[in-house]
Amino acid sequence: MSRATLSEVLQPALRDGYAVAGLVTLGWEDMRAYVAAAEAEGVPVILQAGPSCRAHTPIAILGKMFGYLAEHASVPVVAHLDHGYTYDECKEALDAGFTSLMFDGSRKPLHQNIDETAAIAELAHAAGISCEGEIGFVGYAGGENSAGTDPEEAAQFARQTGVDAMAISVGNLHLQRDRGRGLDEERIRAIEAVTNVPLVIHGGSGVSQAQRRKLALGSSICKFNIGTELRVVFGDALRSAVNLDPTRFDRVSILKDTHEPVFEATRRLLAVLKRK
């Protein structure tokens, strides 16, 4: 296989009634486990490089890592920039081989968000790749509060930006470890009624498996971003590996012990989003 664009994996999901996981990566160990799990389940996967990942590893290196995994995978793999905040950052990701750019202008006034997202969409489409935008602000557990997506603003945003996917704020939160109160399905239906763009849920770790599956199979939500849930699994596995043998110091040996737990946890969450 080779790198797929976001549109190439989300349009079939929208048509056939399932969702694709956008998995937040932090390093080689988790991204490799994610692709292995996607192959085991026979589903596409979106590897996402967010701000904390990019602060640790340069975009150019991440592009090579994603590209290597995609080219050797038996399923479609999307190399996705998550929460790009500037035109230059998005251009750098494009040049590094990313196949999807998520521009986050959700903190900005509507007209500015539309104008700047449209410029990124134009950049992406000219290069033959995809663009995701965000309308309504998705907050952070224990941090910034959310601003829910207004359906009419969502329709305007989708129409005027030309994005291939639209992240919405419907009760979801980044970095949420518990399941919370669930997503606002009434607001989701109102947004669906005025646009046909594939919808994205950031902060998917805070959504129950039952609601994920219900929406994956019966709504326009085609992408769930999952990060915290899998980072907890990785952290627990790493802690166990370190404590297993205090004399072990080789980090390659230690990190190998994280693969199986992350692989199995990823398989379980991917299975929930698959079509019937």
Residues involved in catalysis: 82
Query: What is the residue-wise DSSP string for 96-129?
Result: TT-SEEEE--TTS-HHHHHHHHHHHHHHHHHTT-
Separation between Cα atoms, residue 205 and residue 218, nearest integer Å: 19
Vertex 186 angle, CA 182 and 191, to 5°: 110
Q: At 14, which amino acid appears?
A: L
Phi, psi (degrees; rounded to nearest 5) at 58: -60, 145
Residues near 107 by beta carbon (within 8 Å), at least 6 away in sequence? 137
Residues near 198 by beta carbon (within 8 Å), at least 6 away in sequence? 10, 11, 13, 14, 164, 165, 166, 220, 221, 222, 223
Tell me the helices (H) and strands (E) count for the chain, helix number first. Answer: 12, 9
